[in-house]
Amino acid sequence: MRKYTLICLLCCFYVSSAWADKQAIIKQLSTVLPGVSVDQISESPIKGLYQVSIGMRIVYVSADGRYILQGDMLDLKTRENLTESLQNKARTFALAKLDEKDMIVFPAKNEKHVVTVFSDIDCHYCRKLHAELNTYLDEGITVRYLFFPRSGINTPSYDKAVSVWCAKDRNQALTDAKLNDEVVAKTCKNPVKEQLELGVAMGVSGTPAIVAASGALIPGAVPAKDLIKYLNQ
């Protein structure tokens, strides 16, 4: 009975200590980085170091909230990039909250995988990927497009994205814009700004940027044969 009581007390102390550490971290971060919202705090594999999720960014903070580290944590035994794994989970969670009606989707008939592609209409490699779209569909890869006009809001690329979204047939309008440089100017309520902001939050810096169902971020116009090999791993 004594042994059981001691174990319970130790567990309570551990939980209280961990809770206090987390509160110290939140307090310190809110002081140093006002306005930053901490989504999740959990213990890292390194004792005394906590992993903190801020949106889709991962940072590491000491238990007293004094020291902060930014970068990848690698497990040399398993050869896993632990930071990347956390970021992948965050991307997966963010994409799961989106409705496909807010995307432009090209479905594969014999679907094996689904990828989400952040794309810029005026990007050369985005056009290259779209020109080879049928090779992805033939491999069983459904392609879901989100807009990422690299030049930013209220620019020609941004306006083209809005026009495509507002077209009656978005899929055809996107193909016409990318392959024939044909865009009929239109305006309507659209998700282009939100998609651009989501891409930035996910760490997209160039286009095309492919996000796998696992949340892995794959930069560039990866050929269909190479992409299916990666997705099948």
Q: Which residues contact 178 (CB under 8 A, 6 or more apart)?
A: 121, 126, 127, 130, 131
The torsion angle over the Cα atoms of residues 180, 104, 228 and 197, rounded to 10 degrees, is: 100
94 in Cβ contact with 56 (< 8 Å): yes
Structure tokens of 91? Answer: 């991307």
Residue of 21, 126, 127, 144 marked active site: 126
Active-site annotation holds for 8: no
Active-site annotation holds for 150: yes
**Angle (CA) 135 94 232, round 5°:** 35
Active-site annotation holds for 120: yes
Other Cβ atoms less than 10 A from the Cβ of 199: the count is: 24
- Give the residue among 32, 41, 79 at the shortest CA–CA distance from 59: 41
C-alpha of 30 from chain center? 24
Structure tokens of 12? Answer: 């309570």
Residue of 120, 122, 144, 159 marked active site: 120
C-alpha 49/C-alpha 51 separation (Å) is 7
C-alpha 187/C-alpha 165 separation (Å) is 8
Residue of 91, 127, 144, 150 marked active site: 150
b/e map 10-19, b = 16+ CB within 10 Å: eeeeeeeeee
Residue of 21, 91, 122, 123 marked active site: 123
Which residues are annotated as catalytic?
120, 123, 126, 150
